[in-house]
């Protein structure tokens, strides 16, 4: 993301309105539809592998139970991460971050969100090693609600761009700019109901781009784009691309 550039279309957990979130199917569909960036959540297995999963437990999006960090990759591989979404995706596995990096392969940017519970299990070092080994430092952004994850990433690999995830409830009313600066992040992602023109203007004044999550209705998409958000996370990247094009036409018409 860059300040003042075109609004980035970020597929939230992949094309998660069309395929089960954080799976290869969702990632592939988001690339096919033309998303600029794909966002995935990552946590760790008991044997130190990075997998794509949003929740602390396996319960909601697989037929497994319990924390992912208590299960080995082989155990998680045997789970079904697709049937909960649709019979079409029965048998879809929980992917490793390695597999998602293979799938993206330079066709889109990637936002890797490190889940807080994964940090004590070595997620920061593991993610940095995978990104560096594939020479994808300039194609990846790492985000987290855990300040320690972002602080540690700046030590482990300062070339990897980090972005602070902000939540007013979590951060107890603290200034978003303070959150960015204290961990050395390069930008801010915050919720659609928290974003204002004033926050975006202040971040831009300091050179920090702003992403807004998770915006699924066209009216909301138009609102955050007109506020000059630099990126928008959505479960419907196709819808956001349509709105982006209509906004560009509107701007061009007004300039005539």
Closest Cα partner for 7 from 246, 202, 173?
246
Q: Tell me phi and psi for residue 67, to 5 degrees.
A: -65, 140
Catalytic annotation on 193? no
Closest Cα partner for 208 from 193, 233, 190, 226?
190
Those residues with Cβ within 8 angstroms of residue 178's Cβ, 6 or more apart along the chain or in another chain: none
Report the distance separating Cα 77 and Cα 135, nearest Å: 27
Q: Which of 54, 121, 171, 204 is catalytic?
A: 54
Catalytic annotation on 54? yes
Coil, helix or strand at residue 141: strand
| Residues designated catalytic | 12, 54
């Amino acid at each position: 993301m860059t300040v003042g550039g075109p609004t980035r279309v970020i597929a939230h957990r992949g094309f998660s309105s069309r395929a089960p979130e954080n799976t290869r199917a969702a990632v592939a569909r988001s690339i096919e539809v033309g998303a600029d960036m794909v966002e995935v959540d990552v946590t760790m297995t008991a044997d130190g592998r990075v997998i794509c999963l949003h929740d602390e437990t396996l319960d909601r999006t697989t037929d497994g139970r319990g924390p992912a960090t208590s299960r080995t990759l082989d155990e998680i591989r045997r789970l079904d991460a697709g049937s909960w979404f649709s019979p079409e995706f029965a048998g879809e596995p929980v992917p490793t971050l390695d597999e998602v990096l293979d799938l993206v392969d330079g066709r889109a940017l990637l936002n890797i969100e490190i889940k807080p519970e994964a940090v004590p299990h070595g997620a920061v070092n593991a993610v940095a090693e995978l990104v560096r080994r594939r020479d994808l430092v300039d194609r990846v952004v790492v985000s987290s609600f855990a300040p320690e994850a972002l602080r540690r990433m700046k030590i482990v690999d300062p070339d990897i761009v980090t972005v602070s995830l902000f939540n007013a409830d979590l951060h107890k009313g603290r200034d978003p700019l303070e959150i960015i600066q204290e961990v050395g992040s390069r930008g801010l992602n915050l919720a659609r109901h928290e974003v204002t023109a004033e926050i975006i203007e202040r971040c831009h004044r300091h050179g920090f781009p702003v992403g807004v999550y998770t915006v699924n209705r066209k009216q909301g998409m138009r609102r955050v784009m007109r506020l000059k958000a630099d990126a928008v996370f959505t479960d419907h990247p196709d819808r956001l691309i349509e709105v982006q094009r209509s906004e560009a036409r509107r701007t061009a018409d007004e300039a005539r």
